[in-house]
Structure 1
Amino acid sequence: MRQLAIVRYGTAGEAFRLLEAKDPTPRDFQVLVEVEGFGLNYADVMARKGLYREAPNIPFVPGYEVVGKVVDKGSEVPDAIVGKRVVAFTRFGGYADRALVDYRALVPIPEAMPAGEACALATQYCTAYFMSNYLTRLQAGDLALIHACAGGVGTALTQLCRMQGVRVIGLCGRDEKLAYLEEMGVEWPINYRAVNYVKAVEREFGKRKLDLIFNSVAGKSIKRDLKLLAPGGRLFCYGGSDRSGQKKNLLSDLAFLLKTGFLSPLFMMMKSQGLIGVNMLRVADQRIDTIGACLQALVSLWEKEAIRPQIGASFPVADIAAAHRLLESGTSRGKVYVYW
Structure 2
Amino acid sequence: MYAITIPVPGGPEALVWAEVPDPAPGAGEVLIDVVAAGVNRADVVQRQGFYDPPPGASPYPGLEVSGRIAALGAGVSGWAVGDEVCALLAGGGYAEKVCVPAGQVLPVPEGLDLVTAAALPEVTATVWSNVFMVGHLRPGETLLVHGGGSGIGTMAVQLGKAVGARVAVTAGGPEKLERCRELGADVLIDYREQDFVEELHKVTGGVGADVVLDIIGAKYLAQNIEALAVNGRLVIIGLQGGRTAEIDLTKLMLKRAAVAGTTLRARPLEEKAAIVAAVREHVWPLIAGGRVRPVVDRTLPVREAPEAHRVLEESTHVGKVLLTF
For Structure 1 versus Structure 2, the TM-score category normalised by the shorter chain is over 0.9
Cα offset, 1:338, TM superposition? 0.5
Matching residue within 272, 290, 306 for 1:321: 306
Mean alpha-carbon deviation: is it higher for 194-203 or for 282-291? 282-291
Structure 1 position 269, deviation (Å): 4.5
- Deviation of 1:110 (Å): 5.5
Q: C-alpha distance in 1, partners of 2:299/2:54?
A: 24
Q: What displacement does 1:108 show?
A: 2.1
TM-fit CA distance, 1:116: 4.3
Query: Residue 256 of structure 2 corresponds to which residue in structure 1?
Result: 272
Q: Which residue of 2 aligns with 1:164?
A: 163
Partner of residue 122, structure 1: 121
Q: Counterpart of 2:266 in 1: which secondary structure?
A: helix
SS in 1 for 2:157: helix
The answer for the alignment partner of 1:2 in structure 2 is 2
Segment drifting more, 275-284 vs 324-333: 275-284
Q: How does 1:238-253 map to 2 (within 5 A)?
A: 238-243=237-242
Counterparts in 2 of 1:61-210, with a 5 A limit? Answer: 61-78=60-77, 80-109=79-108, 112-210=111-209
Name which of 256, 266, 273 aligns with 1:289. Answer: 273
Maintained 8 Å contact 1:121/1:295: no
* CA pair 295-118 structure 1, distance change in 2 beyond 3 A: farther
CA offsets, 1:82-121, max 9 Å, x none? 2211111111011100001001110222685223432222
Determine the structure 2 residue equivalent to 1:307.
Answer: 292
Q: Give the AA of the match of 2:213.
A: F
Could you tell me how far apart the structure 2 residues matched to 1:80 and 1:182 are? 38
Q: Once the two structures are superposed, what CA deviation does each residue of 1:157-199 show, in whole Å capped at 9, x if it has no partner?
A: 1111101111111100223212111111111111101122222
Distance 1:118 1:88 in 2: 9
Q: What SS does the corresponding residue of 1:81 show, helix, strand or coil?
A: coil
Distance (whole Å) between structure 2 residues aligned to residue 131 and residue 223 of structure 1 = 20
For 1:201 and 1:112, locate their aligned partners in 2 and report how far apart those are by CA, in whole Å.
37
Output the aligned Cα RMSD.
2.2
Distance of aligned partners of 1:196 and 1:39 in 2 relative to their CA distance in 1, 3 Å threshold: same
- C-alpha spacing 1:24/1:282, structure 2 compared with 1 (3 Å): closer
- The 1:148–1:110 alpha-carbon spacing in structure 2 relative to 1, beyond 3 Å, is closer
1:270: how far off? 4.6
Listed one character per residue, the Cα deviations across residues 7-51 of structure 1 (whole Å, up to 9, x for unaligned) are: 222211x21111112211111011110010100111111111223
- Residue 87 and residue 19 in structure 1: after superposition, are their counterparts in 2 closer, same or farther (change >3 A)? same
- 2:54/2:266 contact within 8 Å kept: no
Q: Secondary structure at the match of 1:241?
A: coil
* Conservation of the 8 A alpha-carbon contact between 2:225 and 2:252: no
Change (3 A) 1:80 1:172: closer
Unaligned runs of at least 5 residues, structure 1? 244-255
Once the two structures are TM-superposed, the CA of residue 324 in structure 1 deviates from its matched residue by: 0.8
SS of the counterpart of 1:38?
strand
CA spacing shift, 1:118–1:238, aligned 2, 3 Å? same
Q: Secondary structure of the residue that 1:125 maps to in structure 2?
A: helix
- Amino acid paired to 2:17: L
DSSP-derived class of the 2:241 partner: helix
Distance 2:79 2:213 in 1: 39
Structure 2 match to 1:52: 51
Structure 1: distance between partners of 2:46 and 2:234: 25
Following TM superposition, by how much is the alpha carbon of 1:6 offset from its aligned partner in structure 2, in angstroms? Answer: 1.6
Query: Structure 2 CA distance, aligned partners of 1:124 and 1:93?
Result: 17
Letter in 1 for 2:257: Q
Which runs of no fewer than 5 residues in structure 2 stay unpaired?
Answer: none
Taking the aligned partners of 1:184 and 1:229, their CA distance within structure 2 comes to 23
Secondary structure of the residue aligned to 1:19 is: strand
1:326 maps to amino acid:
V
Aligned length: 323
